[in-house]
Amino acid sequence: MNKNSARSSFSKSLLSWFEKEKRPLPFRKSKDPYKVWLSEIILQQTQMETGISYYNKFIARFPNIGDLAKADQEEVYSIWQGLGYYNRAKNLHKTAIIVSKNKGRFPEKYKNLIELPGVGKYTASAIASICFNEKKYVVDANVYRVLSRAFGIKTDIKKSKAYNEFHSLTSSLAKNIKNIGDYNEALMDFGGSVCLPKKPRCKTCIFKKKCFAFKNNMVEILPIKKQTKKIKNRFFNYFVFENKNSFLVKKRDKKDIWENLFEFYLIENKSVKKAIKSLNKSITINLPTPEKKSSSASLSHQKITVFFFRYLLQKKEDMNALKKTFKMKMLNKSEVKNVGFPKVIDNYLKSHS
């Protein structure tokens, strides 16, 4: 697009498109800040289809923020299970407790919303604009993608200056718009349904005649995003102590991935032999030959190779001895669904149920 002539028509065309094509998402049925907030937290790092499924689960179990505030953290984690980035679930519960103390009313101003746990610039802007029509503009992956392609912006979006540049642009595009919430939703919807990261629908795009990326064959190049973060390789050896009715589990309480989720006894070591040797040195009972299964977990900054060693123990006293040695919790198999596990362990449990 020509940066001068097209900017004035961009928002008008976008809103016209949104009026006809906006997706009938469940959290759009009202401007309830609880539902908007919940959807925004869930949809961080989550695809829309998956996010809607989890949103519906949460609303069914917690129809209002007071219900969510009263829940045990473990129940919140169990419903969240599979979404990843579990710090979101932790902050979700924290915020629910804070807001419920204010008679369930969310702050109406961006400056107060951003003080809530887990609510950053994007989420605070979304709630403030959609629910309270405050003139705050969202900048997320969709906004970076749509605007960089439409206007040919080649700033690396990983750089700190990118946020201010794109925020300035989107606010200038919407300066004559009365309903900022609709504008923000339209921009996000367009990025989520037309201007996609892969296989964008350029042929049906309302901006294709003026789009810089389309005209210059740069759709696959923009936005510019240089990878700088190194992937860390880790090796988890899980020892699954199990009998007919129960497992031994332990909560992860260190400042690390999967904090506050439950897991089996873990020894982190690249060498399986050294891990097993370390286990045997720590115990006084004789263990049966384990069943072994491998798996993996990919996070944005870590690749984890996982081995499960399943020990089927016949004697209850052996389970109790291991429970005491490793300071673990005895979990009845019927309770597994009520406890939050990392996805890699949840998948393992499903395959052995």
Catalytic annotation, residues? 40
Q: 259, 240, 257, 258: which is closest to 249 by C-alpha?
A: 240
Q: 95, 184, 88: which is closest to 135 by C-alpha?
A: 184
Which string of DSSP letters, residue by residue, matches 209-276?
Answer: TT-HHHHTT-TTTPSP----PPPEEEEEEEEEEE-SSEEEEEE--SSSTTTT-EE-EEEE-S-HHHHH
Q: 56, 31, 52: which is closest to 43 by C-alpha?
A: 52
Q: Residue 87: which residues within 8 A CB-CB, separation 6 or more?
A: 118, 259
Token readout for 71 is 């829940």
Token readout for 197 is 């990261």
Helix/strand/coil for 340: coil
Question: Distance from CA of residue 262 to its chain's centroid?
Answer: 19
d(CA 44, CA 55): 12
